[in-house]
Structure 1
Amino acid sequence: MNKKFFISVDYEGIGGTVSWQEFSQEPARFRKLMANEVTAVIEGIREAYPESAIVICDAHGLGHDLLFEELPFGVMVVRGSPRQYSMIDTIDKTFDLLYFVGYHSKAGTVASTMDHTYSSATFYRIKINQQEVDEAMINAAVAGHFGVPLGFVSGDDKLIASVKQVFGKEIETVITKYSRSRFAALTRHPKDIGAEIKAKAKNAALKINTFKPFRFPSPCQIELQLNDTVRAQQVALIPGSKMIDGRTVSYKANNFLDGYKFILLAATLGSAAGKTYQ
């Protein structure tokens, strides 16, 4: 039976990457590394399901960074911005399994390479139902809304430790590097990473029926800690939101998907406020 797979790829958890500065200086080099890791996932999936349908979402920045022409033929790629579901756009109930490639730890994680949560310019901390969350949890919950489970995650060691704690040991994971600080890491060789990603991606596909969708209970209480008071004041203009203190805004959503839309809108408002009011 043919299956349908969704891959969301970010930059900060790709093997070898340690800063945003180096990406701006050598974009072609690091885009190639992103493409190589995604290719390994595709190859692993296709060993398990040769006729599978695969959609890849370029989930870094504005969605312009994945060298999609370097990928194996027969896949579809989501590029550009804005999008309805940001890092996981076009996800719906027709997909069977979700993969995260190049993911990273949440903002505030100690000594974790390029730690942030959705918007490094806007958010310091995001909580859902009083639980601090990272991008993997947020995006997995979007997929979970549609009944799609997470089966695979690759990224730095700090992220993988969190993934196993949140999603369970059955999730297939690959550590691409060992974080030393926000802008330093002990990284593995790309070929070693690629070989393990391919094997683990295949394993996830083969045990596709063992994974369960990840969900937050409804209603959802969203709490955002912004990077400064200007951003917080602008986010607090969103109807239904409430300012808790100078940098914290809360919002009660009927369900997670509505709460997720609040997070996306807050990210946009916060970014605009930071550029406008100086």
Structure 2
Amino acid sequence: MGLPEKLTVPTPHGDIAVHLRGRSPDEAPGLLLLHANPGDHRDFDEIVPALAPDWAIAAVDWPGYGASTVRDPELISIDALAGVTVQVVEALSRCGFGAFTVIGNSAGGYAAVRLAERAPGRVRGLVLVQPAGFAPRNVLTRAFFRFVANPVVARRYVVPNARMYLGPLDRGGVRAIFDRARAIPGDPVRLAVYRRLWRSFDDPRFDLPAGGPVLPDVPVLVVWGRNDPSNPWLINRRGIAAVLPRAEVQVISTRHEPFAEAPGLFLETVRDFLTASAGMRP
């Protein structure tokens, strides 16, 4: 159907770049990729070539990241990302895309859950990779979110934190992601987006367990890297069980972005779920 390689979706928060790969949406099921904070669509580069023969892939850049613009970084929040995702899916539907299977990492995982709540007819299934929003919200975590959101702290925190949660730089696509994170302190706009997203983690809407179980009719696979020091499985497992009691859970030997660190292991972990979600033959 002659789709471009990049679609630009105007939203109140900026012009959102959606990168299209793989097959035409009138020939293959849709796969939506939502990245972490910071990051962009290239975080998934290690797995896209393997998925492209079977999927119509749409990979989003959040406002201010990648090729997306941001109108006012001070208005960016985790809930704004959820709203942007709904608008992106609506725009993609006008280009021939139907329902999506969604792979969401960290902040992208939170946005994926909210998308499935707000536009259930557009979601076939969710692969939530180290999703945000499930850890306990208490005095300590709220204080930490506000601390990291401080402009001085954020500038000094973003690089060592990325180095910690990404793991060894010689694995998969880790080095490229880390190099992009290293550029954040020198970019005032992206640094502002980064810290505002951290600040919004203190919003009560970010507390998914407070709302109880959700998505009873949407298949969900949770993939967690047990070696992630920034968002450990142990402090999230109760929240996952409370919010997504029917979800399948796979804990694997990686850190925060397993699709980049160990793409082969990640694809092996999600392959059966993706096949079933899209109604493909194995």
What TM-score, normalized by structure 1, do the two folds share?
0.36
What TM-score, normalized by structure 2, do the two folds share?
0.36
Write 1 or 2 for the structure with the bigger share of helix: 2
Larger Rg: 1
Write 1 or 2 for the structure with the bigger share of strand: 1
